[in-house]
Amino acid sequence: MTKWLLILFAFVFIPSVNAEGIEALSITTNPDGSQDYSVTLQVLAIMTALSFIPAAVIMMTSFTRIIVVLAILRQAIGLQQTPSNQILLGMSLFLSIFIMAPVYQKVNQQAIEPYLNEQVTSIQALELAKEPMKEFMLSQVRIKDLETFAKIAGYDTLDSPEATPLIVLIPAFITSELQTAFIIGFMFFIPFLIVDLVVASVLMAMGMMMLSPMIVSMPFKIMLFVLVDGWSLVMGTLAKSFGLGT
Protein backbone atom coordinates (compact mmCIF):
# COMPACT_ATOMS: atom_id res chain seq x y z
CA MET A 1 0.00 0.00 0.00
CA THR A 2 2.86 2.41 0.79
CA LYS A 3 4.33 1.89 -2.70
CA TRP A 4 1.03 2.76 -4.34
CA LEU A 5 0.64 5.85 -2.14
CA LEU A 6 4.06 7.13 -3.17
CA ILE A 7 3.35 6.53 -6.85
CA LEU A 8 -0.13 8.10 -6.57
CA PHE A 9 1.09 11.33 -5.00
CA ALA A 10 4.02 11.44 -7.38
CA PHE A 11 1.38 11.56 -10.13
CA VAL A 12 -0.52 14.32 -8.36
CA PHE A 13 2.39 16.59 -7.53
CA ILE A 14 4.95 15.77 -10.23
CA PRO A 15 3.15 15.98 -13.58
CA SER A 16 6.33 17.07 -15.37
CA VAL A 17 7.88 13.58 -15.38
CA ASN A 18 7.67 12.21 -18.90
CA ALA A 19 7.10 8.64 -20.00
CA GLU A 20 10.78 8.09 -20.81
CA GLY A 21 11.87 8.95 -17.29
CA ILE A 22 14.30 11.63 -16.13
CA GLU A 23 18.02 11.93 -15.83
CA ALA A 24 18.94 11.74 -12.16
CA LEU A 25 22.53 12.77 -12.82
CA SER A 26 24.17 14.61 -15.68
CA ILE A 27 27.87 14.16 -16.43
CA THR A 28 29.91 16.78 -18.28
CA THR A 29 33.35 15.91 -19.65
CA ASN A 30 35.83 18.79 -19.57
CA PRO A 31 38.54 19.35 -22.23
CA ASP A 32 41.23 18.16 -19.81
CA GLY A 33 39.43 14.82 -19.38
CA SER A 34 37.95 15.54 -15.95
CA GLN A 35 34.24 15.17 -15.35
CA ASP A 36 31.68 17.34 -13.55
CA TYR A 37 28.55 15.88 -12.00
CA SER A 38 25.31 17.79 -11.44
CA VAL A 39 21.81 16.87 -10.30
CA THR A 40 19.02 17.90 -12.66
CA LEU A 41 16.36 20.37 -11.60
CA GLN A 42 13.69 17.72 -12.13
CA VAL A 43 15.24 15.56 -9.41
CA LEU A 44 15.28 18.53 -7.06
CA ALA A 45 11.62 19.14 -7.90
CA ILE A 46 10.80 15.51 -7.11
CA MET A 47 12.59 15.66 -3.76
CA THR A 48 10.76 18.88 -2.92
CA ALA A 49 7.41 17.41 -3.94
CA LEU A 50 7.93 14.43 -1.63
CA SER A 51 7.57 16.82 1.31
CA PHE A 52 3.97 17.43 0.21
CA ILE A 53 3.01 13.76 0.63
CA PRO A 54 2.08 14.08 4.35
CA ALA A 55 -0.09 17.10 3.61
CA ALA A 56 -1.79 15.24 0.74
CA VAL A 57 -2.42 12.19 2.94
CA ILE A 58 -3.97 14.41 5.61
CA MET A 59 -5.99 16.76 3.44
CA MET A 60 -7.14 14.66 0.46
CA THR A 61 -8.29 11.57 2.36
CA SER A 62 -10.53 10.65 5.29
CA PHE A 63 -7.72 11.32 7.79
CA THR A 64 -8.86 14.81 8.82
CA ARG A 65 -12.37 13.78 9.86
CA ILE A 66 -11.13 10.76 11.81
CA ILE A 67 -8.39 12.50 13.80
CA VAL A 68 -10.65 15.45 14.72
CA VAL A 69 -13.44 13.15 15.95
CA LEU A 70 -11.03 11.05 18.01
CA ALA A 71 -9.49 14.17 19.55
CA ILE A 72 -12.95 15.49 20.51
CA LEU A 73 -13.86 12.08 21.93
CA ARG A 74 -10.77 12.02 24.14
CA GLN A 75 -11.61 15.50 25.38
CA ALA A 76 -15.22 14.47 26.09
CA ILE A 77 -14.13 11.52 28.21
CA GLY A 78 -11.80 13.83 30.13
CA LEU A 79 -8.57 11.98 29.35
CA GLN A 80 -5.89 14.46 28.37
CA GLN A 81 -3.12 12.06 27.33
CA THR A 82 -4.86 8.68 26.97
CA PRO A 83 -4.91 7.45 24.26
CA SER A 84 -1.70 9.29 23.42
CA ASN A 85 -1.30 11.42 20.31
CA GLN A 86 0.78 8.70 18.67
CA ILE A 87 -1.98 6.14 19.19
CA LEU A 88 -4.65 8.49 17.81
CA LEU A 89 -2.51 9.25 14.76
CA GLY A 90 -1.88 5.54 14.17
CA MET A 91 -5.57 4.69 14.52
CA SER A 92 -6.51 7.51 12.14
CA LEU A 93 -3.89 6.49 9.59
CA PHE A 94 -4.83 2.81 9.41
CA LEU A 95 -8.56 3.53 9.45
CA SER A 96 -7.96 6.00 6.61
CA ILE A 97 -6.14 3.28 4.65
CA PHE A 98 -9.13 0.98 5.24
CA ILE A 99 -11.64 3.61 4.10
CA MET A 100 -9.58 4.77 1.12
CA ALA A 101 -8.74 1.24 -0.10
CA PRO A 102 -11.48 1.21 -2.81
CA VAL A 103 -10.21 4.55 -4.13
CA TYR A 104 -6.62 3.35 -4.20
CA GLN A 105 -7.70 0.21 -6.05
CA LYS A 106 -9.37 2.32 -8.73
CA VAL A 107 -6.27 4.49 -9.06
CA ASN A 108 -4.12 1.38 -9.33
CA GLN A 109 -6.30 -0.18 -12.02
CA GLN A 110 -6.92 2.97 -14.04
CA ALA A 111 -3.58 4.80 -13.78
CA ILE A 112 -0.71 3.12 -11.97
CA GLU A 113 -0.76 -0.30 -13.64
CA PRO A 114 -1.15 1.12 -17.18
CA TYR A 115 1.69 3.56 -16.47
CA LEU A 116 3.99 0.85 -15.11
CA ASN A 117 3.16 -1.28 -18.16
CA GLU A 118 4.01 1.71 -20.39
CA GLN A 119 0.51 1.78 -21.84
CA VAL A 120 0.01 5.47 -21.01
CA THR A 121 2.28 8.44 -20.47
CA SER A 122 2.77 10.11 -17.10
CA ILE A 123 0.48 12.99 -18.08
CA GLN A 124 -2.28 10.60 -19.12
CA ALA A 125 -1.77 8.59 -15.93
CA LEU A 126 -2.02 11.80 -13.93
CA GLU A 127 -5.40 12.62 -15.44
CA LEU A 128 -6.62 9.05 -14.89
CA ALA A 129 -5.42 9.07 -11.26
CA LYS A 130 -7.23 12.32 -10.52
CA GLU A 131 -10.66 10.94 -11.36
CA PRO A 132 -11.10 8.46 -8.44
CA MET A 133 -9.72 11.04 -5.99
CA LYS A 134 -12.07 13.70 -7.31
CA GLU A 135 -14.96 11.25 -7.20
CA PHE A 136 -14.23 10.51 -3.53
CA MET A 137 -13.90 14.16 -2.54
CA LEU A 138 -17.03 15.16 -4.47
CA SER A 139 -19.01 12.45 -2.65
CA GLN A 140 -18.09 14.04 0.70
CA VAL A 141 -17.95 17.77 -0.06
CA ARG A 142 -20.86 20.06 0.69
CA ILE A 143 -22.29 22.02 -2.24
CA LYS A 144 -22.24 25.21 -0.15
CA ASP A 145 -18.50 24.91 0.49
CA LEU A 146 -17.89 24.08 -3.16
CA GLU A 147 -19.79 27.16 -4.30
CA THR A 148 -18.02 29.36 -1.75
CA PHE A 149 -14.51 28.47 -2.89
CA ALA A 150 -15.56 28.53 -6.55
CA LYS A 151 -16.70 32.14 -6.14
CA ILE A 152 -13.52 33.05 -4.27
CA ALA A 153 -11.43 31.56 -7.11
CA GLY A 154 -13.44 33.46 -9.70
CA TYR A 155 -15.44 30.54 -11.08
CA ASP A 156 -18.91 32.09 -11.22
CA THR A 157 -20.39 29.10 -13.01
CA LEU A 158 -19.29 25.49 -13.35
CA ASP A 159 -20.75 23.09 -15.89
CA SER A 160 -21.00 20.34 -13.26
CA PRO A 161 -19.42 19.38 -9.92
CA GLU A 162 -17.18 16.95 -11.83
CA ALA A 163 -15.74 19.92 -13.73
CA THR A 164 -14.51 21.52 -10.51
CA PRO A 165 -10.73 22.02 -10.62
CA LEU A 166 -8.64 20.56 -7.81
CA ILE A 167 -7.54 24.03 -6.71
CA VAL A 168 -11.17 24.63 -5.67
CA LEU A 169 -12.18 21.10 -4.70
CA ILE A 170 -9.42 20.44 -2.17
CA PRO A 171 -10.07 23.44 0.17
CA ALA A 172 -13.82 22.86 -0.14
CA PHE A 173 -13.31 19.21 0.79
CA ILE A 174 -11.18 20.13 3.82
CA THR A 175 -13.78 22.61 5.04
CA SER A 176 -16.57 20.06 4.63
CA GLU A 177 -14.54 17.43 6.49
CA LEU A 178 -14.01 19.77 9.43
CA GLN A 179 -17.72 20.60 9.49
CA THR A 180 -18.71 16.93 9.45
CA ALA A 181 -16.10 16.05 12.07
CA PHE A 182 -17.44 18.68 14.47
CA ILE A 183 -21.00 17.43 13.96
CA ILE A 184 -20.00 13.82 14.72
CA GLY A 185 -17.87 14.98 17.66
CA PHE A 186 -20.83 16.92 19.07
CA MET A 187 -23.01 13.80 18.96
CA PHE A 188 -20.34 11.81 20.81
CA PHE A 189 -19.85 14.62 23.34
CA ILE A 190 -23.49 14.83 24.51
CA PRO A 191 -23.68 11.56 26.58
CA PHE A 192 -20.49 12.41 28.46
CA LEU A 193 -21.70 15.94 29.09
CA ILE A 194 -24.89 14.53 30.64
CA VAL A 195 -22.79 12.37 32.98
CA ASP A 196 -20.78 15.45 34.01
CA LEU A 197 -23.97 17.41 34.72
CA VAL A 198 -25.48 14.61 36.80
CA VAL A 199 -22.31 14.14 38.85
CA ALA A 200 -21.91 17.89 39.39
CA SER A 201 -25.56 18.18 40.53
CA VAL A 202 -25.19 15.28 42.97
CA LEU A 203 -21.99 16.67 44.46
CA MET A 204 -23.55 20.10 44.84
CA ALA A 205 -26.63 18.61 46.52
CA MET A 206 -24.37 16.74 48.95
CA GLY A 207 -22.45 19.92 49.73
CA MET A 208 -19.15 18.51 48.44
CA MET A 209 -18.02 21.75 46.83
CA MET A 210 -14.31 21.06 47.18
CA LEU A 211 -14.39 17.78 45.22
CA SER A 212 -13.84 18.19 41.48
CA PRO A 213 -16.76 16.77 39.45
CA MET A 214 -14.30 15.80 36.68
CA ILE A 215 -12.47 13.38 38.98
CA VAL A 216 -15.69 11.71 40.08
CA SER A 217 -17.33 11.57 36.65
CA MET A 218 -14.32 10.19 34.76
CA PRO A 219 -14.69 6.57 36.00
CA PHE A 220 -18.40 6.64 35.18
CA LYS A 221 -17.71 7.97 31.68
CA ILE A 222 -15.08 5.30 31.05
CA MET A 223 -17.46 2.62 32.34
CA LEU A 224 -20.27 3.94 30.12
CA PHE A 225 -17.96 3.97 27.09
CA VAL A 226 -16.83 0.40 27.72
CA LEU A 227 -20.36 -0.93 28.38
CA VAL A 228 -21.68 0.37 25.05
CA ASP A 229 -18.62 -1.04 23.21
CA GLY A 230 -17.58 2.51 22.45
CA TRP A 231 -14.53 1.95 20.27
CA SER A 232 -16.38 -0.36 17.92
CA LEU A 233 -19.25 2.13 17.78
CA VAL A 234 -16.93 5.06 17.04
CA MET A 235 -14.95 3.25 14.34
CA GLY A 236 -18.13 1.89 12.72
CA THR A 237 -19.73 5.34 12.73
CA LEU A 238 -16.69 6.93 11.13
CA ALA A 239 -16.51 4.25 8.43
CA LYS A 240 -20.24 4.50 7.69
CA SER A 241 -20.03 8.29 7.52
CA PHE A 242 -17.98 7.79 4.32
CA GLY A 243 -20.58 5.47 2.83
CA LEU A 244 -18.95 2.16 3.73
CA GLY A 245 -21.27 -0.65 4.73
CA THR A 246 -24.38 1.09 3.41
Mean pLDDT of 131-160: 82
pLDDT at 167: 83
More confident residue, 171 or 203: 171
More confident residue, 63 or 9: 63
Residues 192, 196, 197, 199, CA torsion sign: positive
pLDDT bracket for residue 28 (50, 70, 90): low
pTM score, two decimals? 0.74
Distance CA 131, CA 137 (A): 10
Residues 218, 219, 224, 230, CA torsion sign: positive
Give buried/exposed letters for 23-37 (b at 16+ CB in 10 A, else e). eeeeeeeeeeeeeee
Range of lowest pLDDT (25-29, 44-48, 105-109): 25-29
Predicted confidence (pLDDT) at residue 241 exceeds the cutoff of 90: no
Residue pair 114/120 in contact by the 8 Å Cβ criterion: yes
CA distances from 71 to 26, 75, 87, 101 (A): 49, 6, 11, 24
Average pLDDT of every residue of the chain: 77
- Residue 200 burial (CB count, 10 A): 15
Cβ partners under 8 Å of residue 216, min gap 6: 199, 203
Find the farthest-apart pair of alpha carbons in the chain and give their distance in angstroms, rounded.
95
Range of lowest pLDDT (41-45, 114-118, 241-245): 41-45
